[in-house]
Copies of this chain bind each other. A is one copy, B any other.
Amino acid sequence: MSSNAVQIIAQQSRAASRELATVSASRRNLALAKMADALESVKQQVLEVNGLEIIKARDEGQTDAMVKRLTIDDKTFAYMLSRLKKVAQLPDPLNRILAGHSNPAGLRVYKKSVPLGVIGIIYESRPNVTSDAAGVCIKSGNAVILRGGSEALQTNAILTDAMVAGALAAGLPPHAIQIIRTPDREAVGELLQMDDYIDVLIPRGGKGLIERIAKGTRIPVIKHYDGICHLYIAADADPARALALAVNSKCQSVQVCNALETLLVDKQCAEQLLPPLQAAFSQHGIELRGCEQTQKLLTDISPATEDDWHTEYLAPILSLKIVDGIQQAIEHINHYGSGHTDGIVTQSLSLARQFEQQVDSASVMINASTRLSGGGDYGLGAVVGISTDKLHVRGPVGPDELTTYKWVAHGDGHLRD
């Protein structure tokens, strides 16, 4: 793909974004409905093409995990449509008045939410990102440039063509949704240079991809790094609840960013809780790595090293540390954690309050599984990622988070003295 082609796409998106900024909420919601309808009508094609891409991926020796991510089945497809519809039902993220006042001279000032402009989404394998990202971007009045993984090129192309037709039928500008249709890697490099036309890039994939993109561009990047997630079982925790939350946080799915990686157990309940925890995790095939004190209480447990506390396993491994009270738990989390999702199990309001205030993370879970952090349970409809940045957006990136704002000042000939 020539540099020129990527530049034309970027320029077209910029032009579309200017128009989109003035499209009413009802028309944007209509577009989301028509995008879902259009997807529905190409379902068979999508499943067929996806099936061929799955075969190709298997032939090329891709891992099972990767093939699973690539696969669209009936359930995935239904989920994709339901999310577009959910996003359509959300309140309009645009034109919200975020603040306002009249100055002493009568200048009326308000701060209102507006689209960011053009969003570039660079992602690997999962074709459901194609519809989620398009949905979230259209809802928030942004033009989107998609760049999916080469293994899902055809699947993504059909999905996009259908959504573009739906959006056009609702009267959105052409080029509101675009996808880069070439597998060659240079196209990404060219995209990174389009800082005149693209307002933000959101890479979804491994740490390597994100770092490469963040380093190679002047465009702001919303980053989704590690989820080194913790659960702290306080001294007063109900043992059965603590066990259930720890197991669910770790075992419901191990390859996801909000899965538990380190379990912190208060020393006051460690002796009682560690044996049943070990039994439960062993049933789920989870390898435990314990601190020195843990090793005194449990046999058959390998030692956790300093490295373990820094590690996002994304695998059936859990590090386990006995801590001397909530303060030590919070310090461990703020020191070793990645600020993604961290939880506490307690019956005490004051411990919950302290944990909520002092843990410096995007998501703080009180008596809830770490696996519940995310756009769905937070009511965002659909998301394009989970930010581990602190600036602009923290945690799930939904429609609200893809807005910026402008200040508008209405005067009546007001001058500065």
Chain A interface residues toward B at CB < 8 A: 18, 21-22, 99, 101, 103, 107, 109, 111, 114, 116-117, 199-200, 220, 222, 238, 241, 244-245, 248, 252, 334, 352, 356-358, 360-369, 371-373, 377-379, 389-392, 394-396, 400, 404-416
Least Cβ–Cβ distance between A2 and chain B, in angstroms: 24
Query: How far, in whole Å, are A238 and B411 apart by their CA atoms in the complex?
Result: 14
- In the complex, the chain B residue whose C-beta lies closest to that of A98 is B400
- Complex CA gap A411/B395 in Å reads 18
Which residue in B103, B109, B116, B366 is a CB contact (below 8 Å) of A408?
Answer: B366
**Supplied contacts A21-B360, A99-B400, A363-B406, 7 more A-B pairs, CB within 8 Å:** A109-B378, A222-B391, A364-B408, A367-B410, A368-B413, A372-B416, A394-B406
Question: How many copies, total?
Answer: 2
Contact between A365 and B22 (Cβ–Cβ < 8 Å)? no
Cβ B244 vs Cβ A413 within 8 A: yes
Q: Closest approach, in angstroms, between the C-beta of A337 and any C-beta of chain B?
A: 13
Q: A391: nearest residue on chain B (CB-CB)? A: B392
Q: Is the CB of B358 within 8 A of A241?
A: no
20 residue pairs bridging A and B, Cβ less than 8 Å apart: A21-B358, A22-B357, A101-B379, A103-B377, A200-B391, A220-B389, A238-B413, A248-B415, A352-B410, A363-B408, A363-B409, A364-B407, A364-B408, A367-B410, A367-B411, A368-B409, A368-B413, A369-B416, A378-B409, A390-B404
With known contacts A200-B391, A377-B409, A407-B373, A416–B252 Cβ distance under 8 A: yes
Picked from B22, B220, B238, B369, the residue with its CB within 8 Å of the CB of A358 is B22
Q: Which of B358, B369, B407 contacts A378 (CB 8 A)?
A: B407
- Is B18 a contact partner of A377 (Cβ separation < 8 A)? no
Given the known interface contacts A241-B413, A369-B414, A416-B372, the answer about A407 and B390 at a Cβ–Cβ threshold of 8 Å is no
Q: Which of B200, B334, B366, B410 lies in contact with A410, CB distance below 8 A?
A: B366
Q: Known contacts A366-B408, A408-B356; is A390 also within 8 Å of B18 by CB?
A: no
Chain B residues within 8 Å of A238, by CB: 413
- In the assembled complex, how far is the CB of residue A314 from the closest CB belonging to chain B, in whole angstroms? 17
List B contacts of A394 (CB < 8 A): 404-407
Give bound CA distance, A390 to B199, whole Å: 8
Determine which of B101, B116, B360, B379 lies in contact with A109 in the assembled complex, contact meaning CB atoms within 8 Å. Answer: B379
Contacts known (A200-B391, A366-B409); A117 close to B360, Cβ less than 8 A: yes
With a CB–CB cut-off of 8 A, which chain B residues contact A22? 357-358
The residue among A199, A200, A334, A372 with the most chain B CB atoms within 10 A of its own CB is A372
CA distance A145 to B396 in the complex (A): 30
Complex alpha-carbon distance, A200 and B389, angstroms: 11
